[in-house]
């Protein structure tokens, strides 16, 4: 169980055969790495489930392999277009998760298991695409501290705030470590067991999926700024897109410069004493910072919670082009949300 969704295993994955399972999307949410927050955002789980399913079907139509098998409605598997109501349950193929061994003494992870010819497994990488660099992007901080150069990101110049790119900037990080860390593409190849061909295929797939999401968002006047994808290898050695994609939790979406995400909740909490204590503990206490935060986050005001709920549902309506949820238009919801930023 995660902070926002649960995984129910129906059939266990084996070395040569895929398993089956269901994602159960909850109305829980998390900000600032805290874990479950005190509120549940009504309809959020179903909105994320429905929207991600919509995109998985678009990928399949475009010849991109995924682990998606269907939405669950009244015990039956259905496509997005077949749904009469909404669902927070997604039926998926399940792959093996092979955790790298952690050595406390060296503070390193052993990925030697991935050097074997593996099949039917989760690739231990998370790939990030960036179509635009907004203010506050981690890229600027990393360039400043020297942990990455603009050349490493495939650029021929120092990037600027709000600069857009014809081709997305691709970044890669670990997936199965205690704290995700950015990698070079050569490091990513070494730890994942992917050969050059599969690594190129993975990168090409990221660009293709990004383009599909961007086109769908553009029709709804939403800008797809950046996001992340996860991948697996099927029993036949084919790369597949897995987990969840194309939602306001996996992507940074903007509508006329307004962030369409749980950033609305983040901004509210940044003005609270709890956030001050969180930031202080993170700086002073390292990985076990949470146990040194003396305060608990207070529940969101009723109106803030309602608007956040409506926002998630409206995004699904407008990107899919289908009135899935009975909520106002996204533009009207954003007008109300902006009142809290004054």
Instruction: List pLDDT tens digits, range 216-236.
Output: 999 999 999 999 999 999 999
Q: What is the pLDDT of residue 117?
A: 80
Q: Three-state DSSP class for 315? A: helix
Give the max Cα distance, the chain. Answer: 56
Residue 192 confidence (pLDDT) above 70: yes
179: pLDDT confidence band, cut at 50, 70 and 90? confident
Ranges 175-184, 303-312, 325-334: which has the least confidence: 175-184
Q: In which band, very low, low, confident or very high, does the pLDDT at 2 lie, cut at 50, 70 and 90?
A: low
* Residue 341 scores a pLDDT above 90: no
Q: Which CATH architecture has domain 5-341?
A: 2-Layer Sandwich (3.30)
Question: DSSP characters for 157-192?
Answer: S---TTEEEEEEEEEEEESSSSS--EE-HHHHHHHH
Average pLDDT rounded to a whole number, residues 109-127: 94
Of 121, 99, 141, residue with least CA distance to 235: 121
Residue 248 has pLDDT above 90, yes or no: yes
Can you read off the two tokens belonging to residue 203? 């990168």
Q: What is the pLDDT of residue 287?
A: 76
266 near 31, Cβ under 8 Å?
yes
- Cβ pair 46, 247 in contact under 8 A: no
Q: State the pLDDT at residue 88.
A: 97
Entry pTM = 0.94
pLDDT in tens, 199-211: 999 999 999 999 9
Neighbours of 72 (CB within 10 A): 18
Mean per-residue pLDDT, 65-69: 98
Average pLDDT, the chain: 94
Secondary structure of the chain: what % helix, strand, coil (to 5)?
A: 35, 25, 40
SS3 79: coil
């Amino acid at each position: 169980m995660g902070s926002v969704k649960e995984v129910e295993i129906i059939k266990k994955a084996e070395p040569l055969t895929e398993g089956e399972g269901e994602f159960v999307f909850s109305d829980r949410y998390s900000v600032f790495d805290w874990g479950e927050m005190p509120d549940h955002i009504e309809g959020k789980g179903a909105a994320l489930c429905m929207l991600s399913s919509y995109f998985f079907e678009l990928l399949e139509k475009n010849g991109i392999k995924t682990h998606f098998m269907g939405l669950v409605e009244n015990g039956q598997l259905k496509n997005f277009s077949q749904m009469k109501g909404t669902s927070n349950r997604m039926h998926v193929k399940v792959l093996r998760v092979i955790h790298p061994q952690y050595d406390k003494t060296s503070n390193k992870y052993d990925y030697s298991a991935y050097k074997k010819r593996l099949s039917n497994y989760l690739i231990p990488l998370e790939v990030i695409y960036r179509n635009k660099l907004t203010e506050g992007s981690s890229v600027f901080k990393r360039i400043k501290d020297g942990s990455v150069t603009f050349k490493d990101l495939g650029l021929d110049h120092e990037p600027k705030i709000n600069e857009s790119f014809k081709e997305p900037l691709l970044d890669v990080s670990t997936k199965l470590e205690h704290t995700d860390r950015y990698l070079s593409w050569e490091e990513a190849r070494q730890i994942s067991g992917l050969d050059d061909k599969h690594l190129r295929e993975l990168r090409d797939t990221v660009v293709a999926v990004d383009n599909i999401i961007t086109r769908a968002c553009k029709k709804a006047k939403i800008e797809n700024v950046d996001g992340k994808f996860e991948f697996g290898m099927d029993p036949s050695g084919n790369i597949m897109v897995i987990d969840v994609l194309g939602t306001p939790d996996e992507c940074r979406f903007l509508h006329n410069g307004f962030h369409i995400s749980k950033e609305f909740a983040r901004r509210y909490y940044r003005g609270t004493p709890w956030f001050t204590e969180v930031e202080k503990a993170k700086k002073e206490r390292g990985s076990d910072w949470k146990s040194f935060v003396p305060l608990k986050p207070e529940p969101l005001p009723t109106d803030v919670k309602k608007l956040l709920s409506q926002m998630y549902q409206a995004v699904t309506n407008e990107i899919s082009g289908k009135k899935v949820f009975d909520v106002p238009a996204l533009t009207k919801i954003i007008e109300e949300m902006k009142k809290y930023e004054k």
